[in-house]
Structure 1
Amino acid sequence: MDRSRTPSGALLVVFNALYWPYLVVTCVLFFVPAFFIFLVTFWQKPRRALHAYTSLWASHYLAWAPYAGIRVEGRERAPKGRACVYVANHQSLVDILAVYGLRLPFLWVSKIENFRVPFLGWNMYLNGYVPLRRGHLPSIRRMLRVCERALRSGSSLCVFPEGTRSKDGALKPFYRGAFWLAVRAGVPIVPIVVSGTGEILPKGQLGIRPRPVTVRVLDPISPDEAAGDDRRLRELVFERMQRELAVLRGQSLVAEPALATIPLEARVPNVGDGSAE
């Protein structure tokens, strides 16, 4: 099948009529092996076997879909044998599937509501991913403690530092938390840029328009490059991701503010999350 084409008209209607029921049914079916893997590996932290299975489960909805596919670039840039914080741009629910396509070990940081979704959310709990209740200081502080412990014990994290999906695909200002954690734990930030997902399932829509996507891992950025300043680290990562996204999309670079300012930030870092809003 020619994956460079995008279906339209009646073919697109048929695709959606088949895709959504397939997703629902397989979420139920694929949860059964996930639960079995959890039972035989529940004492392990991180639960790498379960996360590897979850990566296959989630990414196949995009990688194997007609007219779609995931092109992975730069996976070899991911640090080997040490923890890091992966940060990715966010424009669609499909971003999660695309990032899973990297098949890299990490823990998602995600809003608590996602953990309540039947089967998918239950699997997030089984994986030991980190929940976050937005706007709730005790939850944010707990999340930061859990994330810092995970990084210091060798587990990587993955977050969307914009905190929500971008409607126009432009990179939104970053929240502080992921960069604060990287500085505290002394681990690098690894930027990930995702291109094409916004056209598949834009924010606020349910109709899917399948097409190939590209997921590119960029070179790690050490906190030392920012002299241990999480604000400067945020700016460096934002600038690099913004530049790389423009290259991927064949667009001219338009400067946007790198830093998000929120009332909570004066008291406690906010990490963004690894979910879609």
Structure 2
Amino acid sequence: MWQRIRHITRGLLFIPWFLSLTAVLAPVAIAMSLVTRSGDAAHRLGRRWSRWLLAAAGVEVEVTGREHLAGLPGGLVIAANHASQLDILALFVALPIQFRFVAKKELFHLPLLGPAMRFTGYIPIDRSGGRSAVESLNRAAEVVRSGVAVLIFPEGTRSPDGRLRPFKPGGVLLARKAGTPVLPVAISGSHRCLPRGSILVRPGRIRVRLLPPVDPVGPGGPKGKDALTRELHQAILSGLDPGNRPA
């Protein structure tokens, strides 16, 4: 019982810790981006922010497969499954490279955090589609071609039960447009630490597995959108723990 009380207390304290740490570091990230004209320093600060938040919550990140980054260009597409708000923090810790992520536009309206994301170079997207979504895709392709990786969640939103969902085509369209490989990343355990709809973070372990890259071009030329989407889905599925695989 006492252990459960400690876990609940720790989870409740995570919220003020998150708010206070973000309030301190977000203006610093904005200032860094304005001074350097680059989001690189702010991204490194984001990695520290993520480590401190996860440590405060008692969440460990176990990383395997970093060797699959060897030989890849700086500009590539990173595709990961999405089961929890903690996925972004875990990816900051797990990926030893500069990257920018595509996120729903509503996050950019949050006080402090939203402007920090925008100044650092993260890319808002309108999930309702239309011209705005196409413009976001074009901007993401420009970032990749400039030599910086772009992270996408091809499911489009967080899984309600932690299990891998079908993929939307935006991620593979980005890879084809930018002409770059896709690095699949499988995240397991984050849903147990912070399920969708909950604000109480639970101590635990998140496993992040980097997998062999998927090439959008095959022996016969560019792969079809549907075939590439299936290949990417299968790659991430292969790296997930059983509890995160479709039922």
Task: Determine if the TM-score, normalized by the shorter chain, exceeds 0.5.
Answer: yes
Structure 1 partner of 2:7? 12
2:60 aligns with 69
- Structure showing the higher strand proportion among its residues: 2
Question: Which residue identity lines up with residue 59 of structure 1 in the other structure?
Answer: R
Equivalent position SS for 2:156: coil
2:97 corresponds in structure 1 to 104
Structure 1 window deviating more from structure 2 (47-56 vs 119-128): it is 47-56
Give 2:146's match in structure 1, choosing from 141, 153, 178: 153
Which of 130, 136, 139 aligns to 1:143? It is 136
Query: Can you list the C-alpha shifts for 1:39-87, whole angstroms capped at 9, x where unaligned?
Result: 3212x3xx2222122122123311x235321111112312544311100
The farther-off stretch of 116-125 and 226-235 is: 226-235
Distance 1:213 1:39, change over 3 A: same
TM-superposed deviation, 1:33: 2.3
The amino acid that maps onto 2:134 is R
Equivalence for 2:107 = 114
Contact 1:225 1:233 in 2 (8 A): no
Distance (Å, rounded) in 1 between the aligned partners of 2:161 and 2:128:
25
Q: Percent identity?
A: 31
Q: Does 1:91 align with 2:86?
A: no
Q: Which residue of 2 aligns with 1:234?
A: 229
Counterpart for residue 22 of structure 1: 17
Aligned partner of 1:163 among 156, 164, 167: 156
Question: Is 2:23 the partner of 1:31?
Answer: no
Structure 1 residues without counterparts, runs of 5 or longer = 1-6, 257-277
- Supply the RMSD in Å over aligned alpha carbons: 2.1
Contact 1:191 1:218 in 2 (8 A): yes
Shift of 1:30: 1.3
Asked if residue 207 in structure 1 is aligned to residue 200 in structure 2, the reply is yes
For 1:40, what is the secondary structure of its paired residue?
helix
Between the aligned partners of 2:66 and 2:53, the Cα distance in structure 1 is: 20
* One-letter identity of the residue aligned with 1:96: I
Identify the residue that residue 50 of structure 1 maps to in structure 2.
Answer: 42
Matches of 1:221 and 1:128, distance apart in 2: 25
The runs of 5 or more residues in structure 2 that have no matched partner are none
1:94, distance to aligned residue in structure 2 (A): 0.6
The TM-score normalised by the length of structure 1 is 0.81
Tell me by how many angstroms 1:253 deviates.
6.7
Asked if 1:243 corresponds to 2:238, the answer is yes
The structural deviation recorded for 1:252 is 10
- The one-letter code of the counterpart of 1:186 is G
Counterpart residue identity of residue 176, structure 1: P
Question: In structure 2, do the counterparts of structure 1 residues 49 and 139 end up closer, same or farther at CA, with 3 Å as the change threshold?
Answer: same
Q: Distance in 2 between matches of 1:75 and 1:181?
A: 23
Inter-partner Cα distance in structure 2 for 1:160 and 1:140: 14
In 2: Cα distance, 1:58 partner to 1:66 partner: 11
- TM-fit CA distance, 1:8: 4.2
How does the TM-score come out when normalised to structure 2? 0.90
Q: Which amino acid aligns with 1:13?
A: I
